[in-house]
Structure 1
Amino acid sequence: MKQLNKLKDKTKNNTKADRTDQVDHYEQLYHEFRWDVPSNFNIAEACCHRWAANHKHAKKAAILYEDSEGNSRRLTYQQLHEQANQLANLFLQEGIQRGDVVACILPQRPETAIAIMACLQIGAIVMPLSFLFGPDALEYRLQHSQSIAIILDDSGIKAFEEIRDRCPDLKTVISLDCTASNDMPPCIDWETHVPNMPVTSHIADTRSSDPAVLIYTSGTTGAPKGALIPHSAIIGNLTGFVASQNWFPQDEDVFWSPADWAWTGGLMDALLPTLYFGKPIVGYQGRFSADTAYYLLEKYKITNTFLFPTALKMMMKAEAQPREKYKLSLRAIMTAGEAVGDAVFNWCEQALHIIPNEMFGQTEMNYIVGNSHQLWPAKPGSMGRPYPGHKVAIIDDDGNEVENGDIGEVAMSRYDAYGHLDPVFFLGYWKNDEATRNKFTGDWCRTGDLATRDDDGYLWYQGRADDMFKAAGYRIGPSEIENCLVKHAAVANVAVVPKPDKERGNLVKAYVVLSQGYQGDDALVKELQNHVRGKLAPYEYPKEIEFIDALPMTTTGKVQRRILRLREQERATQNSDSVSVAPTPSH
């Protein structure tokens, strides 16, 4: 964006990880910024095809891929463009049209980016799904979204096979590197069909407000809600991305994040903005470990990253002084999802020579508050300040702004400080108008997160206004887990709450009321854990289960999870003075 380019030069004299004698450019940056959103805009055009059309840029790397076995590939912008065209032509041949929902269950690999670009360029809506989803989580999302097509590889085929017959809207299944069982209808093999399609295709003339991405978020009550995100949202993300990455892009920048590209953190905070600026992103298919992180950082000369605090803690414990062992090119770290804490913050500054930029956002409106330490001083533990272009406030129940120092709910206006529509907003919840209405008070979109604001404009997280919580960087809603548990014959009632944990921020804990005739023993705990692990994502299964005679209830019969949360916080305080009980949330 033009405004971002004008601001880029302001970092030249402020590149060291040093909080002393720092000039605060925030007010100038915030007040000078104006949105410039074209009426017609397509993410695939901006992130892929325009770079392939530039003969000087076409041969540059878009995706640098490696898996846990050491296999590697390099995909250029020209190859990304051509293969996205081929897949788009296959979509059209299969009758997939503008506005149709196409599900994608793929890990970090080149084909994931190809599939996303192919969907968006024909005007379809891509629904990225985590390969960690079990059959129940997958079934709900495919049914509710009415997806007509799905692309998957070996990481997602097992869960999909269990629920294929219960997804009648699915007409097209494209498989990659996997073989379905004989009981499942035939799939279209990617390797057989996509390479034989024409390498040229057109880009749909989409408006910036047209739907592009559908991502389901966990809810505190009821089933997960599908947040429908427009093409313009990537533009709305850019100020936060650029600022939190210490003014990305610079000439030799290479990006990497372990965040799954199916989630907002991986898609909107890593993959798409990196491609928007025509830079390479590393895609690694394998489990995260500190050793792997250092290996990738060194091998690919990664300069910019998004790492959850849990990942940073693992890296800190593995290597106290990593720059003495590894040749690192790292110049910026964005972090979100939970509280960083002084120990990790100081280690980043002293051992990595980088002050981490904490960030806050949600799937519905992402990258809205955060830090950019080179241009405004960092306050360790603070969520930061509103990024340029976003009007953020702390409001009360009636939608009025509270005084500095008072606790209220973080909210963002539909309009920026100058009355222009903010492009970062989601369009609404898929087939859920009531939930969309409830998200807003007037022009304020509520986040459900409580905070205070200090006299310098920095926000300080104070907890959730509802029952959502974060565990190891994942956003957890209790409803889906509770719904899964009560399907087990032994469970009469259940409440899921966070249990504070020093390493992960929180653990998932379930309070279970047993059905008559069942005994709460270790064997049943394991059985219930496996029950959830087999149906939902692995990170959602309860790490701890406590059997209880009755759940605390309101007079109207609603479970009071707040009482159970407070019980866990009190226990944590008694057991350890250093447990963090209020992780900073993100998407």
Structure 2
Amino acid sequence: MTAHPVAPNTPDAELLEDYSENSYPAMIFNRAKASAFMDRTELNYEELPLKTFPNLVLLTRKDNAKSQKSLQATEDSLGWILNTSGTTGKPKQVGLSHHFMYMAGQDDLVSHRMTEDDTVLIVMPMFHINAQELIIVSTLMSSGRIVVAPKFSASQFWNWIKDNDCTWTSVVPTIVSILLKNENSLASFSPNHKLRFVRCASAMLPIDRNREFGQRFGVPILEGYGMTESCSQCTLNPLDAMKLGSVGKPYGSEVKILDGNRMTSEAGIKGEIVIRGPHVITYYLEPNPDSFKDGWLLTGDLGYFDEDGYLWLNGRRKNVINRGGEKINPTVIENAIGGLDYVKNIAAVALPDDIYGEIVAAAVILQPDVKANEQVKQAIIAHCQKHLIRYECPEEIYFVDNFPLNPTNKIMRPQLSQILIQQKLVRKSQVVERMLSEA
């Protein structure tokens, strides 16, 4: 059996389309999601009375028994099919074999120094590679203990850690920010815990947030770099030699920088990160040949190595803003503005421009007690002028309540750009109306 976990908030139409394309022999949903398949006469409908999840439904194809082939599982059989994040386009389907899962689990186990005495708290979604591989498989291999939270809760997080004697957990940068800012989180924190580290991945964590978390809670954040296509991590900060802000050194896989047509690990060379190894895919389930070069996977992430062999991330290739030929990394802008106390979150994206082709726009979510006004906007502009190169400074600043996020809470930047374009059009119409009224 090959499992294909999907996000619980996946739209019904998308689930139906997925089923039509793949004809899965069996599917498990809650009753609400299963109801979308009620008119499919080729499916059997059976409720699963589990104590932990009482509302599950098993859907099976009626012709499955006749068409089912007798297959012997091997090391190369697929254990999972997982979707990529799809922040810059349609998610790709990644097939991960049992061999990949074993090799990656071994690397995770050893690099994090897991033992049978460890207890890990899962707050990450179960359809994500982080929870399935980095946490579950490696912990099963170490004979450790797993505690599963229903979902992330800032007010419950530290209680879960303390009450279950958790020794580590894995989060994303958004959770780090919430734990630092949420009053319920801060109020429930107690230094009487057993955390060895907090693992953070899936997106870039600003250095200031990393440092603040360690100082406030007395727990180091362990950053690494990996992706669904590598069945978890490719690099990790060594526990006894961490470099704040970097994602560590290659572990269990080869990592290079694409410089023109050559792959290099020379210090200071910036370019696209490429990977290969015993747990890195060599093809997608749907043909995508442009994602590979000479046996290496082109990750789409930008980065460079320092003199000590540590990898530093430098944004996404598709997210780079091209302002009149000047290539601008959104992360630089996000780090500058994100350090302001009154800013809860910020994303820098490109907006189309008749003169420069693209300009920099900043979408800012303020802290709940801060009111969006012209004074705050001017303060952000002044801060950028002091800390950024002139062409990196945002030419448009928008205050928003939230960002469009994918199921793993990564910002969907193309959609965010479209939202800001609409806001820009509204601004222009308001200016025209005001000029006409004054005339």
Task: Tell me, yes or no, whether TM beats 0.5.
Answer: yes
- Matched residue, 1:253: 118
Distance 1:429 1:460, change over 3 A: same
**One-letter code aligned to 1:316:** L
- 1:453 Cα deviation from its structure 2 partner: 1.0
Distance 1:332 1:402, change over 3 A: closer
Distance 1:329 1:549, change over 3 A: closer
In 2, distance between residues paired with 1:350 and 1:274? Answer: 28
Look up the SS of the partner of 1:256 in the other structure.
strand
- 1:452 Cα deviation from its structure 2 partner: 1.0
**One-letter code aligned to 1:461:** L
State which of 370, 374, 377 in structure 1 corresponds to 2:236: 370
> What are the within-5 Å matches in structure 2 for residues 462-541 of structure 1?
462-467=314-319, 502=338, 503-504=344-345, 506=347
8 Å contact kept, 1:151–1:173: no
State which of 303, 313, 334 in structure 2 corresponds to 1:451: 303
> What are the within-5 Å matches in structure 2 for residues 334-413 of structure 1?
334-365=199-230, 366-374=232-240, 377-387=241-251, 389-401=252-264, 403-413=266-276
**One-letter code aligned to 1:341:** P
In 1, distance between residues paired with 2:349 and 2:102? Answer: 35
- Matched residue, 2:27: 150
- 1:345 Cα deviation from its structure 2 partner: 2.1
In the superposition, the TM-score normalised over structure 2's length comes to 0.66
CA-to-aligned-CA distance 1:106-138 (integer Å, 9 cap, x gap) = xxxxxxxxxxxxxxxxxx110111112122332
**One-letter code aligned to 1:368:** C
- Matched residue, 2:161: 297
> What are the within-5 Å matches in structure 2 for residues 270-289 of structure 1?
270-286=135-151, 288-289=152-153
- Matched residue, 2:370: none
In 1, distance between residues paired with 2:42 and 2:228? Answer: 26
- 1:258 Cα deviation from its structure 2 partner: 0.8
- Matched residue, 1:52: none
8 Å contact kept, 1:335–1:359: yes
Quote the sequence identity (%): 21
In 2, distance between residues paired with 1:505 and 1:550? Answer: 18
- Matched residue, 2:284: 429
8 Å contact kept, 1:304–1:332: yes
**One-letter code aligned to 2:420:** E
Aligned-residue RMSD, C-alpha: 3.9
State which of 92, 101, 115 in structure 2 corresponds to 1:234: 101
- Matched residue, 1:263: 128
In the superposition, the TM-score normalised over structure 1's length comes to 0.51
In 2, distance between residues paired with 1:237 and 1:504? Answer: 32
* 1:545 aligned onto 2:419: yes
8 Å contact kept, 2:111–2:236: yes
- 1:382 Cα deviation from its structure 2 partner: 0.8
8 Å contact kept, 1:137–1:537: no
- Matched residue, 1:141: 18
In 1, distance between residues paired with 2:118 and 2:320? Answer: 35
- 1:325 Cα deviation from its structure 2 partner: 2.9
Distance 1:351 1:395, change over 3 A: same
Distance 1:401 1:179, change over 3 A: closer
Look up the SS of the partner of 2:312 in the other structure.
strand
**One-letter code aligned to 2:96:** I
Distance 1:444 1:140, change over 3 A: same
- 1:290 Cα deviation from its structure 2 partner: 1.8
**Structure 2: segments with no counterpart, 5+ residues:** 61-70, 322-329, 339-343, 353-400, 426-439
- 1:353 Cα deviation from its structure 2 partner: 2.9
8 Å contact kept, 1:322–1:351: no
Distance 1:297 1:324, change over 3 A: closer
- 1:298 Cα deviation from its structure 2 partner: 1.0
CA-to-aligned-CA distance 1:433-484 (integer Å, 9 cap, x gap) = 3x1x322111211111111111111111111122599xxxxxxxxxxxxxxx
- Matched residue, 1:129: 6
- Matched residue, 1:554: none
CA-to-aligned-CA distance 1:500-552 (integer Å, 9 cap, x gap) = 584456499999xxxxxxxxxxxxxxxxx9xx99xx8595786782345999x
Distance 1:223 1:339, change over 3 A: closer
Look up the SS of the partner of 1:161 in the other structure.
helix
In 2, distance between residues paired with 1:391 and 1:229? Answer: 18
In 2, distance between residues paired with 1:179 and 1:404? Answer: 52
In 2, distance between residues paired with 1:398 and 1:312? Answer: 38
In 2, distance between residues paired with 1:317 and 1:439? Answer: 39
8 Å contact kept, 1:509–1:545: no
Distance 1:318 1:356, change over 3 A: same
* 1:442 aligned onto 2:294: yes
Deviates more, 1:342-351 or 1:127-136: 342-351
In 2, distance between residues paired with 1:308 and 1:292? Answer: 17
State which of 158, 162, 167 in structure 1 corresponds to 2:36: 162
In 1, distance between residues paired with 2:174 and 2:248? Answer: 20
- 1:295 Cα deviation from its structure 2 partner: 1.3
Distance 1:244 1:132, change over 3 A: farther
In 2, distance between residues paired with 1:402 and 1:178? Answer: 51
Look up the SS of the partner of 1:405 in the other structure.
coil
